[in-house]
Structure 1
Amino acid sequence: MSLKDVKFIATDMDHTLLTEAGTLPPHLDERLDQLEALGIQFGIASGRPLYTLRDLFPRHERLTLIADNGAAISHHGQIISKTLLPQAAYQAMVKTISEETDGSPLICGLDGAIAATADQQYDSVFREFYHQLSFRDDLASWAGEANKVTIYLPNGDSQKVYDAVIAPRFGADFSAAVSGPVWIDIMPKGVDKGTGMRAVSQHLHIATDDMMAFGDTFNDAEMLATVKYGYLVANHAEGMAQYARYRTASNDDYGVVQVLDQVIAAHQDARK
């Protein structure tokens, strides 16, 4: 392993970069400044939408944002890729989720998320991830540009619902993934964080062998398998070990930052 070869780094947010309390590691801004000074591009690869990711990193407009699990990608503030769901598809997903699961659907529009008025009790949960949020009585009739449907499962049974309903119904025609104990994401076919990383690779002319990524759960699997330097945090989901070559400390022990410091040191040593 030669960390001095790393030219692009991306990290998942929840349970990976963020602590369990939902906070960023201390002094992260300083690390991002150091990486930029060394010519290393940094990105966030998340199920969260672009507008939320931008809000979380107001000082760093030059970040690459792989949002909505790869359905929307921006680089230095400019959208370089977006992949939309057909209107009929996301309306059918909302209907199925509402009628056949214990979950609450959200349509992820490019400019904001839309949830059912009946789910306003979850406003604070939704708004943590979707800063632009509105409610409507008849969610299934909403029409607009959307690139993801996400499901909030307050009973924590995301894997069970995925196996019983989402994968059999939508797995063949769309990309679907469990993104946490209470979340499932459904994206256009072929969209995941791995295809997002390959799109960034082509745009920046950086080989995936010179890329690093961090993750914890199944919507990170393709990304970790795509890059040469794929890291799982110690608090990763069971069954993820096969997707990443390397390990780091947990999110609460700032495992991502520990490796960033190693990359920074390796590049600084190479310049001596």
Structure 2
Amino acid sequence: MQDIRLIATDMDHTLLTEKGQLPPQMGSYIDRLTDAGILFAIASGRPIYTLRKLFAASKEKMAFICDNGGSIYLHGQNIYKSLIPVKEYQEMVGYVLDDTDGRPIVCGLDAAYIPKEDARFVPVYKTFYANVKLVDDIRHLDVEANKFTIYFPNLDSEKQYKDVFGPAFGNRYSVAVSDNDWIDIMNFGVDKGRGMRMLGKELGIKANQMMAFGDSFNDVEMLQTVKYSYRVGNANPGIYQYADYVTGTNDDYGVLQVIKQVLAAQRQG
């Protein structure tokens, strides 16, 4: 582990506990990684405006692969964004509203846009999207957006992916199951793995110097990209094959357990 230069982790059910809390003294460990020459990155389906609030004290030292790779920020600066054409996400909105029981979210760079009739879901959405805006006519929304998300109140996203959204959109876009109630759609080729490779190219970091942690299907490409791929103990069994290592659960601070090992190895080097 002495060669590690980039560590990335998913947020929900991976770094965050089931209560949505960061491991204790996380900011201190980010400082220690920075001092050791290791970049700490968050790779999440969450947008930058939410992640910056969670890491307010450390954000300038970190990298953020946001919206499942739809945008990337390094040391406070945007280095990449992949916008979905307006007419294309308008098509997605219409499809979700007319032909499915999912609820559409247009993930703009500044806010999450939802139909006004979905106001009842705002408390759920606020956990992930710090800025939610209700729209009178979301079918004709025209904003910069890098991700389209569908929320499933019936908690059946894996089935929806297999039966509906994979067949409908998978040949034109990157479609990923983020949890049992979310599916994310990005431009084709956009995923967390590509985000890691772009950071590596920007910084001269090779895949064998990267480590990553995940728990669900939208982490698969990231885990396949890096040399040191970890699943947390509570990960979805469907991703076991994509991670070479396993650590403790999110509630046992499994990511932090390995970070401590990395820091110890750096001291011994």
TM-score normalised over the length of structure 1: 0.97
Amino acid at match of 1:93: M
Coordinate RMSD, CA, aligned: 0.7
Q: Which sections of structure 2, spanning at least 5 residues, go unmatched?
A: none
Contact 1:215/1:233, CA 8 A, preserved across alignment: yes
Q: Render the CA deviation track for 1:43-66: whole Å, top value 9, x for unaligned.
A: 000000011111110001221000
Partner of 1:13: 11
State the 1:260 CA deviation: 0.2
- Secondary structure, counterpart of 1:130 in structure 2: coil
For structure 1, which segment, 239-248 or 193-202, has the greater mean C-alpha deviation from structure 2 after superposition?
A: 239-248
Partner of 2:193: 194
Identity, % of aligned positions: 52
Q: How many aligned residue pairs are there?
A: 268
State the 1:101 CA deviation: 1.8
Partner of 1:209: 208
Contact 1:100/1:165, CA 8 A, preserved across alignment: no
Alpha-carbon distance in 1 for matches of 2:262, 2:223: 17
Amino acid at match of 2:56: P
- Secondary structure, counterpart of 1:140 in structure 2: helix
Partner of 1:39: 37
Amino acid at match of 1:45: A
State the 1:137 CA deviation: 1.8
Within 5 A, what are the aligned runs for 1:58-73?
58-60=56-58, 61-73=60-72
- Secondary structure, counterpart of 2:166 in structure 1: helix
Alpha-carbon distance in 2 for matches of 1:62, 1:29: 10
Partner of 2:81: 82
State the 1:163 CA deviation: 1.3
For structure 1, which segment, 257-266 or 82-91, has the greater mean C-alpha deviation from structure 2 after superposition?
A: 82-91
State the 1:42 CA deviation: 0.4
Alpha-carbon distance in 1 for matches of 2:237, 2:150: 21
State the 1:193 CA deviation: 0.2
State the 1:28 CA deviation: 1.0
State the 1:16 CA deviation: 0.1
Within 5 A, what are the aligned runs for 1:149-164?
149-164=148-163
State the 1:29 CA deviation: 1.2
State the 1:99 CA deviation: 1.7
Alpha-carbon distance in 2 for matches of 1:144, 1:255: 38
TM-score normalised over the length of structure 2: 0.98
- Secondary structure, counterpart of 1:196 in structure 2: helix
Runs of 4+ in 1 over 2 A off after TM superposition: none
Contact 1:156/1:182, CA 8 A, preserved across alignment: yes
Alpha-carbon distance in 2 for matches of 1:105, 1:268: 48
Within 5 A, what are the aligned runs for 1:138-149?
138-149=137-148
Amino acid at match of 2:115: A
Contact 1:49/1:68, CA 8 A, preserved across alignment: yes
- Secondary structure, counterpart of 2:125 in structure 1: helix
